[in-house]
Structure 1
Amino acid sequence: MDSNTIQTHIVPRTDLDFGLDGDIPRYWLDGHPFKTRFVDALSMTFPIGERFFISSVRRYRDQITDPQQLAEVRDFMRQEGQHGIVHNQWNDRLREQGVPVDAIEQFCDRFFKWQLGNLPQSWPLVYTASVEHLTAIMADAVFGNASFLQGADERMRAVFAWHAIEEFEHKAVAFDVMQKTAKVGYFTRVGIMAAAVITFQVLTLHFLGKVLKSDGFSFGQRARLWASGMWWLYKPVGGVFSRMAPAVLQYFKPGFHPTHIKEPACYRVWNESYENSGDPLQASRSTLLAA
C-alpha cells in the first residue's frame, strides 16, 4: 500500500433518527426553492439507485474469494440498504407536498432495469463505481468552506452528512469488484464515467424541473429560479459542480484508485462525535462547527 492511500472502515449504522417526521420547512435549504428542490431531486433517486448499486455488485459476489473483500461487499450492501430506507422516509414527506415522487421513481426504475437487462454484465457495475466516486466526494461539498448545505434545516443536513460519511467509507468497494473480479479495462471505466457525469446532471435537472412545476411556480417564476440556481451550481469560482470538478477528474487518471481520495476534514470529526453521542444530528452539528 502506498503512502497516498486512505483506508477507512465500513461501519453500517442502523436505526438512526433524523426527526424527518418533524416540522421541516417546504424549502428547507436557505428558504430557496431551486436549491431545496435540487437536493430533493437527488434524494428521490436514491432508494431506487441504491437497489441498483447493490444488484450490480451482488452479481459478482459468488466470484469473490477474498474474505476481506466479501466482508466489504456485505457491509457496502448494508450501508446502501440503510440509505434507501432513510431517503424513502423523506420521499414520503415529499409525496405529502404533492411532489411527483412516484413518476420520478418509475423513470429511475425503468432506467436501471434497462441497464441490468440490456447492457454487458460489467457495465452496470462500472456505472455504479462511477457514481460511487461522485458520492464519495460529496462529504467535502456538504461541509467544505463553501458548503452547498449552508442555511439548511439541521435535520436534512444531518441526513446528507451521514450519507456522505458512509459513501466515503465504502468508496472503493464497487471499484475493487470492477477491477479485481470483473477485470474491466481503463477505457471502459473512463468512458462510462463520462456518461455517468452527464447522466447524473441531466436527469437531476430534469427531475428538478418537474418538481418546481408541481410546486405551482409560473413559467416566469421558474425562469428566474433557474437563472439564479444555475449560477449557484456552475459559477466558475465556488459553484457546487465547479468545486467538485477537480475531484471528479481524478477518476480519469490511469493509475487512479478510490483510496487515493483525500480524507475530508469532516470525516474524523463526524465519526468521533457520533461515537460519543450516538446522535447523527449532534455529529452533524459538531462537524459544522469544526468546519
Structure 2
Amino acid sequence: MTGSIPLSTPMIEVRRMDFDFGKLDQQDWYRNNPVLTAFMSVLSGTFPPGEQMFIESVRHYKDRVSDPELLAHVADFTRQEAHHTKQHKLANEALESLGWKAQEIERRVEKAIGFFNRKRTPRERLAATVCLEHITAIVAEYVLTHPQQLEGMHPSIKYMMIWHAIEEIEHKSVAFDVYMTTGGKRSTLRRIMKAISVLFPALTVGRTFYLLWAARRMPSWAQTKEAWTMLFGKDGMITCIKAPFKDFYRDDFHPEDHDNRELIERWKAEIEAWKVS
C-alpha cells in the first residue's frame, strides 16, 4: 500500500516530566517482590536503546513522507520517545544503585540492536519498530485499564509508567503510517512479528533471571506465584493482550482500530494532578 492513508491519530502531546527517583530507596520496590521488581527493571533497561532504534528507523523515511499531518506526528513522536529515553536512563541509574543492573540491560540491548541493524535493511528495521510499537501500545492499554496492577509500585516508577503508557498510546500509529505510506508490505510485518513474538519474551525472561541472580535475590514460592498470576492469570497481562495482539495479523489492521482516546484523557487528568501535588 502506498500513497496517503487516512490518519486518525489523537493529538500527540510532548510532556516534560521529572520523576524523583532519588526517593527510590527500597530494593524490592514493586510489592516487595523481587521477581516483579526485576521484570520491571528489565523493561526500563530495554527502553532507552529500543526507543532510540524507533526514532532512527522512522526518521530514516521522513523524506519520503509528503503528508504534512504525518510529518508533524513524526516530529512529536521523536520528541516523546527522546524524553522517554531520558527519564528511563535516570530511572536506570537509580535501579543500578539498588542492585538491579538496569544499565547492564541497556548495554546488552544496545549491542543486540546494533547486530540486528547490521543484518537488516532499513525497511525491516522500520517493520520491527512497527511491531514493537504495537506490542508497547497494547501493553500500555492493559496498564491503564488494569490500574490494580500498579498497586504496590513505588510512586516515582508508577507515575513514570502511567505517563509512558499515555504517550505510547498517543503515538501508536505513527510508525505504522510511515511504513505503509512509504510502500511497506504487510507480509514483511507479519514475518518480523512472528520472530519478535518469540524472541522478545524469551529475552525478557532470561534478563529477568539474570537480574535476580546479579542482585542475589532468591524469591519465595509465594512471590513467584504472584508474578506468574500477574502475567498469566485471568486478568494477567499476557492473558489480556492476546486478542489485540492477534489483530495485528488482519489484512485491514490499523493501530487506531482500538480507539483509546477516552482512556488516555482520563489518565492525563491523573498525571496532571500528580504533577501539581
The TM-score normalised by the length of structure 2 is 0.89
Say which of 231, 234, 245 aligns to 1:233. 231
Please list every run of 5 or more consecutive structure 2 residues that lacks an aligned counterpart in the other structure: 1-6
1:252 paired residue number = 249
1:287 paired residue number = none
- 8 Å Cα contact 2:190-2:249 kept in structure 1: yes
Map 1:1-291; keep pairs closer than 5 Å: 7-14=9-16, 16-145=17-146, 147-181=148-182, 183-218=183-218, 221=219, 226=224, 228-235=226-233, 237-263=234-260, 266-274=263-271, 277=273, 279-280=274-275
CA RMSD of aligned residues (A): 2.2
Shift of 1:207: 1.0
2:4 paired residue number = none
Q: Which amino acid aligns with 1:13?
A: R
CA distance in 1, matches of 2:213, 2:221: 11
- 8 Å Cα contact 1:232-1:240 kept in structure 2: yes
- 8 Å Cα contact 2:45-2:88 kept in structure 1: yes
CA distance in 2, matches of 1:128, 1:75: 16
- 8 Å Cα contact 2:144-2:267 kept in structure 1: no
- 8 Å Cα contact 2:55-2:81 kept in structure 1: yes
Sort the Cα spacing of 1:273 and 1:32 in 2 relative to 1 into closer, same or farther, 3 A. Answer: closer
- 8 Å Cα contact 1:146-1:238 kept in structure 2: no
Shift of 1:252: 1.1
Number of residue pairs the alignment of both structures matches: 271
**Deviation string, structure 1 residues 29-72 (Cα, Å, up to 9, x no partner):** 11111111111110111111111111111111121122111111
CA distance in 1, matches of 2:261, 2:151: 17
**Percent sequence identity over matched residues?**
30
Sort the Cα spacing of 1:17 and 1:144 in 2 relative to 1 into closer, same or farther, 3 A. Answer: same
Please list every run of 5 or more consecutive structure 1 residues that lacks an aligned counterpart in the other structure: 283-291
Q: Which amino acid aligns with 2:197?
A: V
CA distance in 2, matches of 1:141, 1:154: 19
CA distance in 2, matches of 1:151, 1:100: 21
SS of the residue aligned with 1:141?
helix
SS of the residue aligned with 2:21?
coil
- Return 25-34 or 68-77, whichever deviates more: 25-34
Q: Which amino acid aligns with 1:12?
A: V
CA distance in 1, matches of 2:141, 2:258: 11
Shift of 1:213: 0.6
Sort the Cα spacing of 1:146 and 1:270 in 2 relative to 1 into closer, same or farther, 3 A. Answer: closer
CA distance in 2, matches of 1:118, 1:222: 41
CA distance in 2, matches of 1:63, 1:105: 31
Q: Which amino acid aligns with 1:233?
A: L
Shift of 1:225: 5.0
SS of the residue aligned with 1:137?
helix
Q: Which amino acid aligns with 2:210?
A: K
SS of the residue aligned with 1:12?
coil
Q: Which amino acid aligns with 2:208?
A: L
Sort the Cα spacing of 1:109 and 1:82 in 2 relative to 1 into closer, same or farther, 3 A. Answer: same
- 8 Å Cα contact 1:44-1:101 kept in structure 2: yes
Q: Which amino acid aligns with 2:227?
A: G
- 8 Å Cα contact 1:139-1:264 kept in structure 2: no
Shift of 1:86: 0.3
Sort the Cα spacing of 1:230 and 1:274 in 2 relative to 1 into closer, same or farther, 3 A. Answer: closer
- Return 257-266 or 247-256, whichever deviates more: 257-266
Q: Which amino acid aligns with 2:11?
A: H
